Amino acid sequence: MAINIEQVKRRREIAQPRRPNFHRLKRHHPILKTLLLAMIGILIVTGAVIYGNHTQWQTAQSVQKASHKAVRKAKKQPVVKASQVKQVAEQKSVKPDYSGTGGLSSKEDMLKLAQSNQAEILRGHVAVPSFSISEPIYEGTSNHVLAIGAGMNAPNLKFDTGLVPIFAHNMGDYNAVWPYHPTKFSALQNMTEKSIIGKDIYLSDGHTVYRYKATKLDYGIAVGVMNQELAVENTGQPKVKLIACLEDQEFWQQVKASHYTNFTATKRIVLTGELVGEQSINSLESNLKQQLQ
């Protein structure tokens, strides 16, 4: 039988372990090195962002946790209609304060306000399920109201009539990552027209749930311009406006310049919705019902 030399060579090559092609590795080494450095850079930047915002996220969570006591207390009291506010205010010795501007205060002050047992007048609840927003609504926009939930900035406002502006804090934790999450109206800063227009906004007065469809997002509207728009009488389709401060680069520059003592924002985020329907709160599915009572 003749010996096939080529076949023998191939068998030897298969039997012997392949030696690494150092020339090929050396050729790709700069690419691997670049990728490794890029990954390290991303990890450093991510870590710095998380570490830098950790205190603020922690403060927001502490305030939210403290305000949950007020929320639980609110669940035990009936929602007050606009026509009943004056009477209930006299009974509870509460003087609604509509002067709040939405500016944050120090961590210590926010915690004190959230932990306070000061009486307030519960007007209902607001929820935006697509952005995990769920807050009680109180009469007025005092610092205490905005520490424990959302507030209505004018008397005699009804959910199904005219324009209903609802204010709440942007706690600066809109970019929070697990185990933290956005609190109050912070999630408004995460919204874009593409992600929110057409989505549901719900208001509840304890009995009836009013469903609004988001129709407009004003991102960074000046406070003066916003106030002028709110002052215009609305006689058309009933609307709701969810309002929070915009925390942009300009805002953080003045916060840092003040050594974290001045949290007054000059711009607002305003989400507008138009009323499209209403139904009994008892007809809701359990998860949404829980958010609105």
Each domain of the chain, given as residue ranges in start order, spans: 22-291
Contact 61, 107 (CB under 8 A): no
Q: Can you name the CATH fold of 22-291?
A: Sortase; Chain: A; (2.40.260)
pLDDT for the residue 228: 87
pLDDT for the residue 293: 83
Instruction: State the amino acid at position 293 in one-letter form.
Output: Q
Q: How far apart are the first and last CA of the chain?
A: 93
- Reduced to 3 states (helix: H, G, I; strand: E, B; else coil), residue 213 is strand
pLDDT for the residue 70: 67
Number of residues written out for the chain: 293
Cut 0.85: pTM above it: no
**Integer Cα distance of 124 and 107 in angstroms:** 27
Tokens representing 252 are 């953080």
Contact 125, 135 (CB under 8 A): yes
pLDDT for the residue 46: 60
**Integer Cα distance of 82 and 139 in angstroms:** 9
pLDDT for the residue 194: 96
Q: Which residues contact 99 (CB under 8 A, 6 or more apart)?
A: 141, 142
pLDDT for the residue 49: 55
Mean pLDDT by 10 residues, the chain (293 residues): 52 55 57 76 62 74 82 73 94 90 76 89 96 95 93 92 94 86 94 97 96 97 91 80 94 88 91 96 93 88
pLDDT for the residue 82: 93
